[in-house]
Amino acid sequence: MKKVLITGSGTGLGKDAAIALSSRGHYVYATTHTLEESKMLNKIAKKNNLPLKSFKLDILSANDRTLVDNLSIDVLINNAAIGDSGSVCEINVDRYRQTFETNVFSNIELTQRVLKNMIKKRSGRIVFVSSLVGRVTLPFLSPYTATKFAIEAIATSLKEELKELKSVNIDVALIEPGAYATGFNQKNISKQFTWMKQCSYFKTKINHLEKKQFRYFKLTERKNTSSIINEYIKSVEDIEVKDRYVAPCLQGTFIQIKRILGK
């Protein structure tokens, strides 16, 4: 049994992973963006007698991040993230700043706080939830995919850096989900059209672009999340941690082939 803290547990993959891990006997701190989400998770835990405690931890809040200081954490899963979309040539740069603040900078700050105790006890595991689009991007989604490219670099750097602390055994891993039907992708895509329909270089093609993007995810998304939740579980339970945990397998293979071909 490990003590696992996972952020962004109020919805989607984070919620599924928190419940799955606690169902396997791990004590899970399932943190959420809102108080309402944490109340809902605590009700589920009580009803099913799960070793899960949920509380609000907005990773953007410096005060909320201090909540991890006195917790004994064996595994931190940086799962919380937001999305945004739009054309690089015209999107307000503040939209990039907002996604980087949540998906990158706040994750670094939370990780640093957790690492203080892990380094003291000389063991632990840090898991970053990236994405397959953190390796091969998609057009009009760079405000989100750019943050996942950054997470890939940060996780890889941290892994190598911690090897220099010879008496410390702290693993670092990445989880790279493909497309799953959690509603996140649709919410992400929709953000660009709130302003691109009003004023955009692509205004005359908006309807085509909207249909194209929604059709892409309708064709690629997996409705059942069990394959990626299994990877969350492996990232916690594997004795020898892998660099990357990827699902669905077919999507991961496709992305790897595209990278090899330089596309």
pLDDT tens per residue, range 3-56: 999 999 999 999 999 999 999 999 999 999 999 999 999 999 999 999 999 999
Residue type, 82: I
* Sheet strands side by side (includes 169-177): 52-56, 27-32, 3-6, 75-78, 123-129, 169-177, 244-247
Token pair for residue 237? 């339970």
For residues 124 and 74, the answer to whether their CB atoms sit within 8 Å is yes
In sign, the C-alpha dihedral spanning 230, 225, 86, 9 is negative
pTM recorded for the entire structure: 0.95
**Domains of the chain by range and CATH?**
3-180+223-260 (3.40.50.720)
- pLDDT band at residue 227 under the 50/70/90 scheme: very high
According to the model, what pLDDT value does residue 6 have? 98
For the chain, give the number of residues: 263
Q: If 0-12 CB within 10 Å is exposed, 13-18 middle and 19+ buried, where does residue 49 land?
A: exposed
- pLDDT band at residue 263 under the 50/70/90 scheme: low
Average pLDDT, the chain: 96
Burial 181-204 (b: 16+ CB within 10 A, else e): ebebbeebbebbbeebeeebebee
Whether residue 183 is predicted with pLDDT greater than 70 in this model: the reply is yes
For range 253-257, the mean pLDDT: 83
Please report, rounded to a whole number, the percentage of residues in the chain having pLDDT higher than 70: 100
For range 161-182, the mean pLDDT: 96
Token pair for residue 175? 């989880």
